[in-house]
Amino acid sequence: MAADHHRLAVVLVSWNARDYLEKCLTSWYQYAGDLAAHVFVVDNDSVDGSVAMVKRCFPQVHILSNSENVGFARACNQGIQSSSSEYILLLNSDCELTDRCITPLLQGMDQNPQIGVAGPILLHSNGAVQRAGGERVSLSRLFKEQLLFRSASCGIRSIEEIRRRHGAAYFDTGFVSGACMMIRRSMLSRTGLLREDFFMYGEDVEFCSRAKKNGFKTVIFSNAWIVHHKGQSAVKNLEPALRASVTNHVRLIAEQQGRAAAIPALVIYFFGSFMRLLLSCLRLDTRCRAWFHLLVHYHRIIKTVAEKI
């Protein structure tokens, strides 16, 4: 464990995303390099030269190398347990910082000890709003997202609109995306770490649910934003990523709304996936193959959910 006076530990999990990892680290030292922070890269057995690049270009970064892909949650926990800072920032390797996007989170959490988890507004590569927090996982939310195509940022066109809607430096949200999530370390004694049985996807939603159950706020700061080149590791292995996302979110719904809720959740996901298959085929989208294989092997998802709930 790194024992020092740094207030912040930054944990980046990387899996075969060397170019994005380099951009992320470059942006960190450009826009947040003045912060007293330990930066950790937890590499999940990348074969694209990611570790060599970090050693060569960022010798100040602490590297934790795994001999296999242990998943996002377990890798995050390795970084958390290797540090002793007051705050932890979980940061996806496909994120790029903007000017002063981390300082508002630190200042806001300092001022309000009830904030246990905080995040910025996430932007697409083109500057459009990608996500500003999210609703608590539920059947109604799933129905809106899967069958009505109402995403988390539906109707939100700009940062200014978010500020007009909420009119404050921060606002409460159901969960903060794990793409950029700041955690108060003292909270972990009550919530525990990220659940490692969630290999990837859904671990941020579940973690924020535990934070709320223990009396902490999960918030988004409207005066901080970061670019998220979404899913750059997952896109290389899309079908397993889709399968993990469906499985874990159905499990969450079953845990929070009862086991019987898994049945309508699986039905909603099936038809939502079928609609996306049709759209991707019409658009000649490369994701068509992944959606097709997801549906062909949907019985595997049902079996996994049945075993785990």
User: What pLDDT tens digit does each residue of the chain (309 aa) get?
Assistant: 544 468 999 999 999 999 999 999 999 999 998 998 999 999 999 999 999 999 999 999 999 999 999 999 999 999 999 999 999 999 999 999 999 899 999 999 999 999 999 999 999 998 888 888 888 889 999 999 999 988 755 556 678 888 787 777 899 999 999 999 999 999 999 999 999 999 889 999 999 999 999 999 999 999 999 999 976 555 667 889 899 999 999 999 999 999 999 999 999 999 999 999 999 999 988 889 999 999 999 999 999 999 998
pLDDT of residue 238: 87
pLDDT of residue 2: 46
pLDDT of residue 136: 84
According to CATH, the topology of domain 8-228 is: Spore Coat Polysaccharide Biosynthesis Protein SpsA; Chain A (3.90.550)
Q: Report the distance separating Cα 181 and Cα 88, nearest Å.
A: 8
Q: Report the distance separating Cα 94 and Cα 90, nearest Å.
A: 12
Strands 8-14 and 37-44: parallel
Given a contact cutoff of 8 angstroms between Cβ atoms, the answer to whether 164 and 132 are in contact is: no
Strands 217-228 and 170-172: antiparallel
Segments making up each domain of the chain, as ranges: 8-228, 234-308
Prediction pTM value? 0.91
